[in-house]
């Protein structure tokens, strides 16, 4: 049987400033920013999606050493898709 991870356990160990931010709040913020960027479109929408992509890039760079290769590939794919969508709405 597969062991499941407790929902309160952090995905990556750390005590940085983002460790105290509730995951649900971050999820809602990302969804709101993405949805607003896509629906608004144009330069403003592309800017919102660019801010989101910059945040993803910073988090990816900060966690790169502790991620498994498969996790790295998945996060890079998400980043590329986000940039492509930002360019598309522009």
Q: With b meaning 16 or more CB within 10 Å and e meaning fewer, what string describes 1-28?
A: eeeeeeeeeeeeeeeeeeeeeeeeeeee
Q: pLDDT tens digits, residue range 59-69?
A: 999 999 999 99
Residue 14 lies in a domain: no
Instruction: Tell me, yes or no, whether 12 lies in a domain.
Output: no
pTM: 0.79
Whether 9 is in a domain gets the answer no
- What span, in angstroms and rounded, lies between the C-alpha atoms of 74 and 80? 10
Query: What is the span of the domain harbouring residue 53?
Result: 42-90
Per the model's pLDDT, the better-predicted residue between 12 and 66 turns out to be 66
- Rounded Cα–Cα distance for residues 73 and 30 (Å): 20
Give the chain's domain count. Answer: 1
Please provide the distance, in angstroms rounded to a whole number, between the alpha carbons at the two ends of the chain.
48
Give dist(CA 56, CA 54) in Å, integer. 5
């Amino acid at each position: 049987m597969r062991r499941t991870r407790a929902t309160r356990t952090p995905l990556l160990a750390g005590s940085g400033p983002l460790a105290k931010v509730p995951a649900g709040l971050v999820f809602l913020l990302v969804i709101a920013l993405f949805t607003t960027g896509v629906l608004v479109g144009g330069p403003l929408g592309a800017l919102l999606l660019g801010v989101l992509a910059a945040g993803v890039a910073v988090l990816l760079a900060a966690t790169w050493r502790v991620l498994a290769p498969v996790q790295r590939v998945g996060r890079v794919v998400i980043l590329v898709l986000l940039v492509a969508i930002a360019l598309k709405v522009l």
